[in-house]
Amino acid sequence: MNISIFGLGYVGCVGAACLAKLGHTVIGVDVNENKVRLINEGKPTIIEEGIAELCAEAHAKGLMSATMDVREAVHATDVSFIVVGTPSSKEGHLNLNYIFAVAKQIGEALAHKLPIINDQSPIGGTLRHIVAIRSTVLPGTNEKVGEIIAEASGLVRGKDFTIVSNPEFLREGTSVKDYFNPPLTLVGADMPEAESVFREIYKGIEAEFICTDIRVAEMMKYVNNTYHALKIVFGNEVGNICKELNIDSHKVMEIFCKDKQLNISPYYFKPGFAYGGSCLPKDMKALKTLAHDHYVDVPVIEAIGESNELQKRRAVQLIMAQGLRKVGILGLSFKSGTDDLRCSPIVDVVESLLGKGFEIRIYDKNVKVSELTGTNKDFIMAKIPHLQHFVTDDLETVCRESDVLVVTNKEKDFAEVLTKYPNKVVVDLVRQWKEVDYEGHYEGLSWGDINANRSAQQSVTKQDFRQTEF
């Protein structure tokens, strides 16, 4: 395939050489004359293991060249990758000026490019060109780049051209190896033709190919990198506590990483409601206090509890934002299949709503108020002393007599019964349904109303959170 790459820096140079290794013909474009010269001499623009050999090989085979002429590069290729820098502004915002400048140039060049009608091109129909954003950009950039190209070219997105988001996951130092062995190949696209072209481009790479929504693809790099940073900081904070206690932190983390069921696993990663129960809140507090007692600052570990409280406040705000007073709570214990109410996060939400004068009805098949004993009973009586007035063992009554139904755990019978009450507002704290098929109004705690493409959190502002007190 014929591919142009805008930006011959770190990622662009590695991408160009590796795509040529995969058999594609690559034209690099850069505003830096020296980088263009180096590529045309078969030399890399950066220092990295294996890159010099790849550049020399691509040059010798006539598969890699470079130019400063945008029109020449766009007209000679089917796909253009944008890999220019996206530095931070002084205030920490992402500076997309280079991306937008390249988009405008590509658009101007596309205005004069004829539709591809030869058999050599993988792009068919009315599509003239595919632009791929490889730089790290925030969600929404793909759309904006499309608007810039449409304006500069007078062409129509989805007919004449399209833009895919194809984030880069390589790490400096091992970039060539990473390029050929990525954790996965991710493409955000809105046209099936673009997906097939990208499957073809990366045919030689043995990694799962995932084609998804453009905004999901745009979000991934930030989620990945933030998580990587979090892992580093978490490991360091654990290490700092361990050092004070004369415990070998590396032994601790080695064993930590051996648990592939709960620690290094997809478990606990899905957005949902706050954590609770008799263990997590207590043990979090104990470790935090231990660190304090040894004068070790652990801001990330400390922030975990604060973030958890915020999720409860978010739930209260979301329920209040519906503007209806009769609220049915489907599930009171801290998770399904137990009657343990200790530190159940929904108990805090109910306590807060009662204090604000909401009419509450609660159903939890596992919670029998008269049978509660010990610390479980003590906890709930301290929070909601008249619990028995709100709890019923009839799910249908709660559904019928409430305007807002709050789903707090994944009991199977909820979904079934709720379909009988299509005129309610369902506030789902745990993503009870993967595909939302509720006929009434549906609000997810940390995800949008998928059907209406409207996010619940839009109505819940930071200011609202601060004003909510338990």
Ligand X SMILES: NC(=O)c1ccc[n+]([C@@H]2O[C@H](COP(=O)([O-])OP(=O)(O)OC[C@H]3O[C@@H](n4cnc5c(N)ncnc54)[C@H](O)[C@@H]3O)[C@@H](O)[C@H]2O)c1
Catalytic residues: 279
The 32-61 site mask, x for binding ligand X (CB under 6 A), equals x--x--------------------------
Task: Give the nearest distance from C-beta 67 to ligand X in angstroms.
Answer: 10
Of 94-102, 261-269, 279-287, 410-418, which part binds ligand X (CB under 6 A)? 94-102
* Residue from 136, 142, 165, 446 in contact with ligand X (CB under 6 A): 136
Q: Is 81 in the site for ligand X (CB under 6 A)?
A: no
Which 233-252 positions form the footprint of ligand X (CB under 6 A)? none
Task: Give the nearest distance from C-beta 279 to ligand X in angstroms.
Answer: 38
Cβ atoms of 36 and 66 closer than 8 Å: yes
Task: Give the nearest distance from C-beta 70 to ligand X in angstroms.
Answer: 7
Task: Give the nearest distance from C-beta 421 to ligand X in angstroms.
Answer: 48
Q: Is 12 in the site for ligand X (CB under 6 A)?
A: yes
* Residue from 3, 4, 6, 445 in contact with ligand X (CB under 6 A): 6
* Residue from 172, 254, 259, 283 in contact with ligand X (CB under 6 A): 172
Of 95-103, 157-165, 238-246, 364-372, which part binds ligand X (CB under 6 A)? 95-103
CB closer to ligand X out of 172 and 254: 172
Task: Give the nearest distance from C-beta 121 to ligand X in angstroms.
Answer: 24
Q: Is 73 in the site for ligand X (CB under 6 A)?
A: no
* Residue from 38, 55, 63, 102 in contact with ligand X (CB under 6 A): 102
